[in-house]
Structure 1
Amino acid sequence: MEGTQQNSGLWKAGTAFFAILAGFLGYLLFEAKGVKQQQDDIIHKRVAELSSARISLDSIGSQLDAKIAEIKSLGGRVEELEAAKKQLEADVEELVSTSALSKQQYDSKIADYVSLLNTKDAELNRLKKENGVLVEKNKTLVSQNTNLSSENIDLKTQKQNLSDSVDNVSRRNRELTAKVTRASALQAQFVQALAISDRGKERDGGVYRASKVDKIKVIFSLLPNAIAKQDNKTIYLRVLDPDGAVLYDTGVGSGTFDLFGKEANYTAKKEIFFQNNGQGVEIIYNRGNAIQYRSGHYKIELFAEGFAIGNGSFDIK
C-alpha cells in the first residue's frame, strides 16, 4: 500500500516535469519562428531596396547614353557625362557584387546623377538654340549656294555654247583650209613613160621590149593653178612593177618620203620651180644595164606636197 502511493507520486512529478519541458520547448519554437520571420522580412526588404537601386541606376545609364549622343550631335563637350557613365557602371558592379552600401548611400548617388542630368538638360537646350541659329544660317548659305550653282550652270552653258561655236568655226576653218590646200595642189596631165635605150634612143607608145629599155623617162605637164604658190616644189615618182612593188635603188636616187602620214619608198624625185604656166616636167629613172625589166604591166604614181597629182602606166614585153 505504501509502495503504490510512492509510485503514484513519482508518476505525477514526471508528468509535471514533461509538461513544463513541453511548454518551454513550445516557447522556444515560437520565439524561433518569430526571429526567422524578422530575418525574412529584413532580407525581403534589402532585396527590394537593391532591386529598386539597380533599376534606377540602369535608367540613369540609359539617360546618360542618350544625353551623350545628343550633345555630341550638337557639337557639345561630353567628357563630364562620359566620366559619370564610367562611375555609374562601377556603382552597378559594386551593387551586384556586395551589399555593403546602405539604401541612403545609393539614394544619395542617384540624386547626384539626376542633378547632373538636369544640369545637362539646360546645356542641351542652349546647344539646340545655338544650332537653330546655325541651321538658319546654313539654310541661307544653302540658298545662296543654290543660286550660285544656278549661275554657274548658266555660265557653263554659255561657255559650252561658246566652245561649241569656236569648235564649229575651227572645224569650218580646218575644212576650208583643207579645201584651199587641196585646191592649191599641183595637177599633172598627159603623163607618159618613154623608154630610153642604152644608146640614148627614145621610144614612146607605152609598150616596150625589155632589151630596149635602159632608162625610163616620165614626162607630164602641170596645169596652171591660180591659188598655187609659185615656188620650189618636190615631185616624187613611184614606179610599181607587175607585182605592185616599188622600183627602189638608193644608188640611183631612190629614197623615202611621207605618204599620207606614213613612210613610203619613192623611185625618183625632181626639184622644180612652179611657174604656173603649164610647164612640162620630166623625171628619168636609170635602172642600169645589168638588170632588165620583167615583162608585165607597170604603174606610175606622182606625188607633191602630200597629194597624189597624177598617174600613168606602161608595159614591158
Structure 2
Amino acid sequence: MSEASSGKSKRDQIRIILIAAIAIIVLGSAYKIYTDHQAKEALQAEYDATRTQLTTKLDSISGQLSDRISEIARLGGNIDSLVTLKDSITSERDQLQRTRMANKALIQRLDRKVTGYEELLIAKDDEIAELKELNTQLLDENNTLKEEQNVLNKTINEAEQKQEQLQQRINLAAKLQAENIQVFNVNSRGREREGDFRQRQAQKVKVTFNLAENEVAPAGGHKIMIQVVDPAGNVVFDVARGSGSFKIDGREQFYTSMQQIVFDNSKQELSFVYDKGSDFEVGDHKIIIWADNYEIGQASFNVR
C-alpha cells in the first residue's frame, strides 16, 4: 500500500470517528433534553397535584374557620384576629391558584402554614368549649339573679301594697264626718220647725251638724257643701243664691250651698240656710253633705 493510500485511510478513519463522536454528542444532548423535559413535566405534575391539594385544604380551613368565627361571636368572644386571619388565608389561596409554574418554596411555606392553621382550629375548638362553659355559668348566675330579683320585686310590691293599704286606711280615717245632722223648715217669720214640711211653708231649709272629733285629720281649710236633692233626683241649685259645681271622679256635680271652713277638731257646729225662693216639691227630699270631694253625711225631709 502506498503512502497516499495509507494517509487517505487514516483521514477516513478520523472522519468516521468524528462523525460518530458528533452523533454520540447529539444523541446525548437529545436524550438529556428529553429526560430534562420528562423530569420537568413530572415536577410540574407533582406541583399541580400538590397545589390542588393545598388549595382544597386552604378552602376547607377557611370554611371551618368561618364556622368557628360565627360560634365564637355568638358566645361573645373576640373574633377580630380570626377575621383578619381568614382574609389572609383567602389571599394565600388566591396567590397559590395564580402561581402556575412550579414553586417549591411557596409550596413548602404554605404546607407549613396549613399545619399551623389545623392546630389553630383545634385550639379554637378548645376556646369554644370554654366559652360555652362560661356562658352556661353566666346563664345560671343570670337565672339565679333573676329569681332573686323576682323575689325582691315581689317583696317590694307587697311592701308597697301594704303601704298603700295603710295610706288608704289613714286617708279614710282622716276624712271628716258629720254628726248630729238636723234639718229645719224656716217659715217667713223665721220660726224653725223640725220634721215634715208643709209645702205652702216650705221655701227655706236649714241644715245644722257638727264635725266629729278626728285626731288623724289634719287641721286646715276645707270646702263644705250640701246638696238638696228633690224627689225626682235632681239637685236643687241656683247660682244667684250661692249654688255652684264641683267634680267627683272627673264628673261635674252641683251643690246647693257651700262654706269654706278651717277644721280645728273642736266638734265645730256648721249651719246652712238655703232660701229656695219658691215652694219645694211635694215628696221626699235628701240632704247630702260633702267635704271637699267626699261625702260625710246624709239626712232627709219630707214635703207634704
- Report TM bin, short chain: 0.5 to 0.7
Match of 1:169 in 2: 159
In the TM superposition, residue 239 of structure 1 has moved relative to its aligned partner by 1.8
Structure 1 letter corresponding to 2:288: E
Q: Which runs of 5+ in 1 are unaligned?
A: 1-55, 88-108
For the pair 1:187 / 2:187, whether they are aligned, the reply is no
Change in 2 beyond 3 A, CA 1:121/1:266? farther
For the pair 1:316 / 2:278, whether they are aligned, the reply is no
For the pair 1:256 / 2:236, whether they are aligned, the reply is no
Root-mean-square deviation (Å): 3.6
Change in 2 beyond 3 A, CA 1:258/1:118? farther
In the TM superposition, residue 205 of structure 1 has moved relative to its aligned partner by 0.6
Match of 2:280 in 1: 293
Q: What are the equivalent positions in structure 2 for 1:40-79 lying under 5 Å apart?
A: 67-68=58-59, 70-74=61-65, 76=86, 77=88, 78-79=90-91
C-alpha distance after superposition, 1:5-28 (max 9, x if no partner) = xxxxxxxxxxxxxxxxxxxxxxxx
For the pair 1:208 / 2:177, whether they are aligned, the reply is no
Structure 1 letter corresponding to 2:206: K
In the TM superposition, residue 258 of structure 1 has moved relative to its aligned partner by 3.5
Sequence identity percentage: 25
Q: Would you say the 8 A contact 1:185–1:305 is kept in 2?
A: no
In the TM superposition, residue 179 of structure 1 has moved relative to its aligned partner by 0.8
Change in 2 beyond 3 A, CA 1:152/1:199? same
Change in 2 beyond 3 A, CA 1:207/1:135? farther
Structure 2 letter corresponding to 1:278: K
- For 1:208 and 1:79, locate their aligned partners in 2 and report how far apart those are by CA, in whole Å: 112
- For 2:140 and 2:64, locate their aligned partners in 1 and report how far apart those are by CA, in whole Å: 31
For the pair 1:155 / 2:155, whether they are aligned, the reply is no
TM-score, normalised to structure 1, is 0.61
C-alpha distance after superposition, 1:163-218 (max 9, x if no partner) = 22222222111111211221222221232322223443333213331x32222211
Larger radius of gyration: 1
Q: Secondary structure at the match of 2:184?
A: strand
Structure 2 letter corresponding to 1:270: Q
Q: Which runs of 5+ in 2 are unaligned?
A: 1-47, 66-81
Match of 1:221 in 2: 210
- For 1:286 and 1:302, locate their aligned partners in 2 and report how far apart those are by CA, in whole Å: 17
TM-score, normalised to structure 2, is 0.63
Q: Would you say the 8 A contact 2:57–2:114 is kept in 1?
A: no
Change in 2 beyond 3 A, CA 1:202/1:81? same
Q: Secondary structure at the match of 1:207?
A: coil
Q: Secondary structure at the match of 1:242?
A: coil
- For 1:233 and 1:307, locate their aligned partners in 2 and report how far apart those are by CA, in whole Å: 11
- Say how many residue pairs are matched: 236
In the TM superposition, residue 305 of structure 1 has moved relative to its aligned partner by 4.5
Q: Secondary structure at the match of 2:272?
A: strand
Change in 2 beyond 3 A, CA 1:131/1:214? same
With 267-276 and 71-80 compared, the bigger mean Cα shift is at: 71-80
Q: Which of 228, 234, 237 is the equivalent residue of 1:245?
A: 234
Q: Which of 134, 141, 147 is the equivalent residue of 2:131?
A: 141
Match of 1:281 in 2: 270
Q: Would you say the 8 A contact 1:194–1:205 is kept in 2?
A: yes
- For 2:111 and 2:238, locate their aligned partners in 1 and report how far apart those are by CA, in whole Å: 100
With 183-192 and 271-280 compared, the bigger mean Cα shift is at: 271-280
